Copies of this chain bind each other. A is one copy, B any other.
Amino acid sequence: MQAEIKIRLKNGISDPEGDNIKKALLLLGFDNVIRVKTLKSYIIEIDCEKKDDAIEEIKDICDKLLANPVIHDYYIEIIE
């Protein structure tokens, strides 16, 4: 089973990478860019038969390794 995990900064947490990309885009002439936010995504393939079990396990993976609960929100989507 494959799942996509999106990890993004919580609202209110500054995103300097996004801010710098926005600055670079303005310098390159893309004047109509209003905001840039960055996310980190992972596609994880796990050997698991049931969708619910897979989601539980991936939540556990996020909590233990991938996401920092102080600054990150994460979203899990089962692809197949």
Contact = CB atoms under 8 A, between A and B. Distances in A.
A70 interface: no
Number of copies of this protein chain within its complex: 2
Interface string A11-54: 00000001001001100101011111111111111111000000
Interface of A: 6, 18, 21, 24-25, 28, 30, 32-48, 57, 60-61, 64-66
Contacts of A47: 32-34
A38 to B, nearest CB: 6
Nearest to A64: B28
A66 B39 CA distance: 13
B34 A43 contact: no
Contacts of A43: 35-37, 39
